[in-house]
């Protein structure tokens, strides 16, 4: 049997309204009412907002990370470590006293389940690089002692969990020598699988691929691991002549690095070889983040560049942040299409279309903002100078349903209009 679509059927959302030519006016009115009813089924929540949180410190905070939706930690200058057990609303001081009596800066913090690791500068007097760990979501912290660290004495700039057990941190030792250190027991003990000619500034991973990038002595420092950080080799760069500041692994075999003078490098063979990609900016690029296909990098003078093809080509946004001299220091995709960037003077910008159109968000501070963390549950934290902590609970657009009692006038209006329409159709 063949079914024919009823003549004159028009669909509006989940509603179907049937018309004939003799009642076209009624049909048009019904469609308008239906559209009104559907469009008012929910009310968008207002513009994004930020609140300052008391951080218990006046020291600069360099990095922040969630370990669960409700637990977070931040680290910074003079060994400061703060933790939150309620998603970032309140914070406690968890600063570790180092055995050597030093107060080294902590530059990065990262987590996997209950374990959080913080890394930072080399300590004075022959003591090792600063590494601290927590195995209870940030409630208590301990220093990793010299017996469990390699003799690298490095300033550690970045790190991450590659797997639930494998942890990688990167940095530079005396004389600018690059160092990569590895833990296979969630940060309890460390080895030194690779040293390089220049310091490493950033590391990222996807799957078993781990890539690290760094300074330009005598050429850009690039390194890769294809076995979750266990073994490392130096990559081959194009000799772009610039320090590389950050890197993002787009797929399990490709990654993009960004650096000084707008330089963009890309690998498609798991870090072995890197090519210089045409960049639409000459401004220093400080940070990069993205999904498999969409990448956004930010930097000096409010620079923003984006790629929609996994880093093959780079373009400027249609509507960038306003022209200015402030540096943008971090960028993060909060969802598949929502991107957040933060920078000096408390500046915050966001895009809801993968970095093409940017809007200015109202900030509550003029401190320099340095790092972003997102919980995955519409909870965003930003940290910066003089202990600044900002929290937003509405970066992901949501809808608030109309109260039940408010729907009845709409329902009655639609039912009444429908009865009038039926009567006219029968009389036609």
pLDDT at 320 over 70: yes
pLDDT mean over 154-166? 97
Range of the domain at 187: 47-57+149-401
Residue 175 has a pLDDT of 75
Q: Is 140 a member of any domain?
A: no
Looking at the structure, do residues 357 and 408 belong to the same domain, yes or no?
no
Q: Is 204 a member of any domain?
A: yes
Would you say 358 and 317 are in contact if contact means Cβ atoms under 8 Å apart? Answer: yes
Q: Is 416 a member of any domain?
A: yes
Residue 176 has a pLDDT of 79
Looking at the structure, do residues 243 and 263 belong to the same domain, yes or no?
yes
Other C-beta atoms within 10 Å of 264: how many? 25
- Whole-angstrom distance, CA of residue 365 vs CA of residue 389: 10
Which band of pLDDT confidence, cut at 50, 70 and 90, is reported for residue 173?
confident
Looking at the structure, do residues 310 and 411 belong to the same domain, yes or no?
no
Distant-in-sequence, close-in-space partners of 76: CB < 8 Å, separation ≥ 6: 57, 59, 60, 61, 62, 63, 105, 106, 383, 387
Looking at the structure, do residues 234 and 349 belong to the same domain, yes or no?
yes
- Between 31 and 62, name the one with better pLDDT: 62
Residue 174 has a pLDDT of 76
Distant-in-sequence, close-in-space partners of 63: CB < 8 Å, separation ≥ 6: 74, 75, 76, 106, 107, 108, 109, 370, 371, 383
Q: Is 185 a member of any domain?
A: yes
Q: How many CA atoms lie within 13 A of 135 on its CB side?
A: 9
Least confident stretch, 88-102, 190-204, 392-406: 392-406
Looking at the structure, do residues 414 and 286 belong to the same domain, yes or no?
no
Number of domains in the chain: 2
Other C-beta atoms within 10 Å of 239: how many? 12
Strand 15-18 and strand 389-392: the pairing is unpaired
Looking at the structure, do residues 304 and 397 belong to the same domain, yes or no?
yes
Give tens-digit pLDDT for 378-419: 999 999 999 999 999 999 987 544 444 444 454 555 556 566
Would you say 112 and 118 are in contact if contact means Cβ atoms under 8 Å apart? Answer: no
Any idea what the Cα angle at residue 412 is, between residues 406 and 416, rounded to 5°?
160
Looking at the structure, do residues 421 and 347 belong to the same domain, yes or no?
no
Looking at the structure, do residues 368 and 406 belong to the same domain, yes or no?
no
Q: What are phi and psi of 348, to 5 degrees?
A: -135, 130
Q: Is 120 a member of any domain?
A: no
Q: Is 282 a member of any domain?
A: yes
Give tens-digit pLDDT for 4-56: 333 333 233 333 333 444 444 444 454 444 444 444 333 343 469 999 999 99
The partner residues of 24 in beta bridges, in order of sequence, read none
Q: How far is the CA of 204 from the CAs of 139, 199, 307, 343, in angstroms?
A: 26, 16, 18, 21
Q: What are phi and psi of 123, to 5 degrees?
A: -85, 160
Q: Is 361 a member of any domain?
A: yes
Would you say 150 and 190 are in contact if contact means Cβ atoms under 8 Å apart? Answer: yes
Looking at the structure, do residues 212 and 294 belong to the same domain, yes or no?
yes
Which band of pLDDT confidence, cut at 50, 70 and 90, is reported for residue 110?
very high
Looking at the structure, do residues 331 and 410 belong to the same domain, yes or no?
no
Looking at the structure, do residues 213 and 359 belong to the same domain, yes or no?
yes
Q: Is 224 a member of any domain?
A: yes
Looking at the structure, do residues 344 and 407 belong to the same domain, yes or no?
no
- Give the residue among 154, 155, 111 at the shortest CA–CA distance from 134: 111
CATH number of domain containing 156: 2.130.10.10
- Rounded to two decimals, the pTM is 0.83
- Whole-angstrom distance, CA of residue 280 vs CA of residue 343: 20
């Amino acid at each position: 049997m063949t079914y024919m679509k009823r003549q004159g059927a028009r669909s509006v959302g989940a509603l179907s309204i049937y018309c004939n030519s003799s009642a076209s006016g009624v049909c048009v009115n019904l469609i308008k009412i239906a559209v009104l009813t559907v469009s008012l089924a929910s009310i968008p929540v207002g513009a994004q907002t930020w609140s300052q949180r008391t951080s218990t410190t006046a020291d600069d905070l360099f990095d922040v990370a969630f370990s669960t939706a409700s637990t977070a930690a931040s680290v910074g200058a003079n060994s400061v470590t703060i933790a939150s057990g309620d998603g970032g609303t309140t914070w406690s001081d968890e600063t570790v006293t180092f055995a050597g009596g030093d107060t080294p800066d902590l530059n990065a913090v990262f987590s996997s389940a209950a374990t959080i690791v913080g890394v930072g500068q080399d300590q004075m007097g022959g003591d090792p690089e600063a590494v601290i760990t927590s195995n209870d979501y940030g409630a208590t912290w301990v220093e990793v002692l010299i017996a469990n660290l390699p003799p690298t004495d490095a300033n550690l700039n970045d790190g991450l969990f590659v797997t639930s057990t494998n942890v990688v941190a990167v940095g530079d030792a005396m004389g600018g020598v690059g160092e990569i250190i590895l833990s296979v027991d969630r940060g309890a003990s460390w080895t030194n699988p690779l040293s390089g000619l220049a310091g490493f500034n950033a590391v990222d991973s996807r799957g078993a691929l781990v890539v690290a990038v760094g300074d330009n002595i005598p050429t850009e420092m690039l390194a890769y691991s294809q076995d979750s950080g266990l073994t490392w080799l130096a990559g081959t760069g194009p000799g772009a002549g610039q320090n590389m500041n950050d890197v993002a692994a787009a797929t399990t075999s490709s990654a993009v690095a960004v650096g000084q003078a707008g330089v963009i490098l890309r690998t498609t063979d798991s870090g072995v070889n890197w090519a210089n990609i045409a960049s639409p900016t000459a401004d220093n690029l400080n940070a990069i983040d993205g999904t498999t296909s969409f990448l956004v990098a930010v930097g000096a003078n409010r620079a923003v560049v984006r790629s929609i093809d996994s880093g093959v080509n780079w373009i400027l946004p249609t509507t960038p942040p306003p022209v200015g001299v402030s540096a943008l220091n971090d960028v993060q995709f909060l969802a598949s299409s929502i991107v957040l960037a933060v920078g000096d003077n408390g500046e915050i910008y966001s895009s809801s279309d993968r970095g093409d159109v940017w809007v200015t968000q109202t900030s509550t501070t003029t401190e320099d903002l340095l790092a972003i963390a997102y919980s995955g549950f519409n909870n965003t934290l930003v940290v910066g100078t003089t202990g600044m902590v900002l929290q937003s609970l509405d970066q992901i657009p949501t809808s608030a349903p109309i109260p039940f009692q408010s729907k009845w006038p709409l329902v009655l209006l639609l039912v009444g209009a429908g009865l009038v329409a039926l009567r006219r159709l029968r009389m036609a």
